[in-house]
Structure 1
């Protein structure tokens, strides 16, 4: 018999916000609060130990490289094993590596190779965590309210990221980067505990397959058989690379030389964060019928920040452009997750998400490495205009794919579509 207290709790939250969804959202808030402060702390730890900008770049690359190398394997593992176990194991690795990093920094004599090694371990954990987490979230939500659930999740995640970066910066100034890294380690421990309590009791075991390589081949077949899927993954391999290069390399340089320093650039980045919250809030109410058409049209504004830096616009204009691009990328993000939820079989979700993640990050290290030589060869302003043009060109090309223009939101389950459930209390489909 259901208790009155349980009934009251259920009445206070939407039907789609079941136990697993609440746990996943709470865990994401905790990890984003810790990790976004830790990213700043890692850079300051390198500088505090006597390193320079090149050393900061090496530590950042040490995080990205294993992410690229292990993402596809992580996706296959997450579809082969129970996803919540993969997530908890990855959180444990992140907790241990960040705790060791914190101890080194607090002890006062961290070496560059040690910081690179520990950061690489953290990146490895993320490579296994990201496909499992995205597959778990997508399979947890069911019914017609999937896009609203994804929007709320992303809004909570981005809000925590903004708060974590602000809190991390304040704590670094007050107590130093070592303690911020220690807080991040504790956040991973708490989030892992949340994820350990996910309810997978009603999830049937996955049937045995032909091994890890066979799983990777099956995942690739799933991606390559859907033109809308591989086209958008290919599009974002370019978009993420050039936008990342513009914002991580050229943005700070333009701010230093023409906008007045780090403060204005921080304001612009904060405006982007506010825009992501606004976009998620918009998608709580708006369910575009043509999911991918609406999402892809919202990728065009991602060219605007590069163009604004090329002019350059004054700080207020740049902040307005960044705000708009934040709204736009969230519309795309929610539409994309909803399309994956609707179209991809549950037992393929983590592998498909891994190929998606891989496409998004694979070219980013190369683009950031080439940003400096491109500036020397063509000039900064010309390079920024080139970034904006590439975003427009690849996005326009994707619109020539019929499935991108025509894929329609289904309000009711149809034969052959991935299984969903109106009861979001446990994940559905074969996860393990």
Structure 2
């Protein structure tokens, strides 16, 4: 019998079921490792005698297979139990990062070694992303979905911010090889957590006429919703130009006008802190018109490129980056809530794959064109062009009626029904 003088431990919220809690914990663990490894991989390339171009090649080697295999990954995740796809992808990432770490620690890795292992990591992510988003989107009840997604994103954004900072410190203290080894261990732990996901109450999936038939069915679901493909097209352009502005032009502006790498690092940290603040806001705010509120909050995403074009002082840039991070996170939570509400459970991963594909497919092209655009038009004009494109595509997507009118409902009408002994929905990725 419990003594009345001993306070009871507070129970987790009713919407934070077992699967949701496992998914969040695993995402935080993996996020800490993965964001630290981004820093470590760059310094591993430089430590092996590479230059900035080689760093870009290793990064591109991860992006290309991610784009190539995303749609297949979405079809596989809707055909097989999603948690098994996630665990298998985590195992591949663990092995590839472990091999990368061993090469760095035991000798001088060659560029093609690092590109190959980075490509394996991108392949794993292509299968993991759609499965993970499908799992998460179907892990909570409709009434509390927005709050659950906000808490999840707040936790993962915090892990990204902390992982990058911790990774940088550890690279300086113990070297990139050990940070890559820690990332491999993080993937192993995250995969172990995800292996405990309970999917016994998900209705068995009946394979269709094959992989191509599954892809066609997902495409029909995607293209039949103008708000869905409209926002994905919007973010395919917005992500590309924002990525080019921050990855290519930002460090150059910092070097020439802001005082070097330190203020640029602080600016990126301010953006990350803004995403955490935006997610915290969305734990309380439930806009009735989900996509209208979210899309209006995309307009400030143009501010960082405009601030770099001026360029403004470092302190003003920190404020701009924080505001952009906070507002775009409002969109992120609203977008996830809309997908959860509108997309049938058995098609979530395929739709998520088309979403991911649109979000990342133009980034390599934008990165490649950033240098020629600067040479042709000058850096300020190129940055103003980035800002203008964000404003243009965001204004255009507001012309889609459903983007302006789609409203929040108490429960998703499109989700497949499922029974659960503990009343938790079955656990099945920003524009």
Q: Report the TM-score, using the length of structure 2 for normalisation.
A: 0.95
Unaligned stretches of 5+ residues in structure 1: none
Task: Determine the structure 2 residue equivalent to 1:77.
Answer: 76
What pairs up with 1:365-376 in 2 under 5 angstroms?
Answer: 365-376=364-375
* 8 A Cα contact 2:85 2:131, kept in partner: yes
**How has the CA–CA distance of structure 1 residues 107 and 317 changed in structure 2, closer, same or farther, with 3 Å as cutoff?**
same
Separation (CA, whole Å) in 2 of partners of 1:308 and 1:419: 49
What pairs up with 1:212-227 in 2 under 5 angstroms?
Answer: 212-227=211-226
* 8 A Cα contact 2:100 2:180, kept in partner: yes
* 8 A Cα contact 2:345 2:415, kept in partner: no
**How has the CA–CA distance of structure 1 residues 270 and 406 changed in structure 2, closer, same or farther, with 3 Å as cutoff?**
same
Task: Determine the structure 2 residue equivalent to 1:253.
Answer: 252
Task: Determine the structure 1 residue equivalent to 2:238.
Answer: 239
Task: Determine the structure 2 residue equivalent to 1:379.
Answer: 378
* 8 A Cα contact 1:67 1:124, kept in partner: yes
Separation (CA, whole Å) in 2 of partners of 1:181 and 1:395: 38
* 8 A Cα contact 1:35 1:184, kept in partner: yes
Tell me if 1:86 matches 2:85.
yes
What pairs up with 1:344-363 in 2 under 5 angstroms?
Answer: 344-363=343-362
**How has the CA–CA distance of structure 1 residues 421 and 259 changed in structure 2, closer, same or farther, with 3 Å as cutoff?**
farther
* 8 A Cα contact 1:141 1:424, kept in partner: no
SS in 2 for 1:285: coil
SS in 1 for 2:283: helix
Separation (CA, whole Å) in 1 of partners of 2:95 and 2:417: 37
SS in 1 for 2:138: helix
* 8 A Cα contact 2:289 2:406, kept in partner: yes
Separation (CA, whole Å) in 2 of partners of 1:356 and 1:43: 28
Separation (CA, whole Å) in 2 of partners of 1:159 and 1:292: 24
TM superposition shift of 1:159: 0.6
Separation (CA, whole Å) in 2 of partners of 1:415 and 1:349: 11
Task: Determine the structure 2 residue equivalent to 1:335.
Answer: 334
Tell me if 1:277 matches 2:276.
yes
TM superposition shift of 1:420: 9.6
For residues 272-303 of structure 1, the C-alpha deviation after alignment (integer angstroms, 9 at most, x for no partner) is 01100000000000000000000000110000
**How has the CA–CA distance of structure 1 residues 423 and 313 changed in structure 2, closer, same or farther, with 3 Å as cutoff?**
farther
TM superposition shift of 1:143: 3.0
Task: Determine the structure 2 residue equivalent to 1:230.
Answer: 229
Separation (CA, whole Å) in 2 of partners of 1:227 and 1:18: 33
TM superposition shift of 1:204: 1.7
* 8 A Cα contact 1:346 1:428, kept in partner: no
Task: Determine the structure 1 residue equivalent to 2:102.
Answer: 103
Separation (CA, whole Å) in 2 of partners of 1:428 and 1:31: 18
SS in 2 for 1:12: coil
SS in 2 for 1:140: coil
Separation (CA, whole Å) in 2 of partners of 1:390 and 1:418: 41
Task: Determine the structure 2 residue equivalent to 1:311.
Answer: 310
SS in 2 for 1:205: coil
Q: Report the TM-score, using the length of structure 1 for normalisation.
A: 0.95
User: Which is worse superposed, 411-420 or 308-317?
Assistant: 411-420
TM superposition shift of 1:37: 0.5
Separation (CA, whole Å) in 2 of partners of 1:352 and 1:414: 17
- State the aligned residue count: 424
For residues 353-389 of structure 1, the C-alpha deviation after alignment (integer angstroms, 9 at most, x for no partner) is 0000000000000001000000000000000000000
Separation (CA, whole Å) in 2 of partners of 1:419 and 1:272: 39
**How has the CA–CA distance of structure 1 residues 70 and 416 changed in structure 2, closer, same or farther, with 3 Å as cutoff?**
closer
Separation (CA, whole Å) in 2 of partners of 1:250 and 1:416: 43
Separation (CA, whole Å) in 2 of partners of 1:163 and 1:319: 17
SS in 1 for 2:71: helix
**How has the CA–CA distance of structure 1 residues 417 and 79 changed in structure 2, closer, same or farther, with 3 Å as cutoff?**
closer
Separation (CA, whole Å) in 1 of partners of 2:394 and 2:243: 16
**How has the CA–CA distance of structure 1 residues 69 and 416 changed in structure 2, closer, same or farther, with 3 Å as cutoff?**
closer
SS in 1 for 2:14: coil
Separation (CA, whole Å) in 2 of partners of 1:365 and 1:68: 10
Unaligned stretches of 5+ residues in structure 2: none
Task: Determine the structure 2 residue equivalent to 1:112.
Answer: 111
Separation (CA, whole Å) in 2 of partners of 1:9 and 1:266: 43
Separation (CA, whole Å) in 2 of partners of 1:347 and 1:48: 46
**How has the CA–CA distance of structure 1 residues 256 and 428 changed in structure 2, closer, same or farther, with 3 Å as cutoff?**
closer
C-alpha root-mean-square deviation of aligned residues, in Å? 1.9
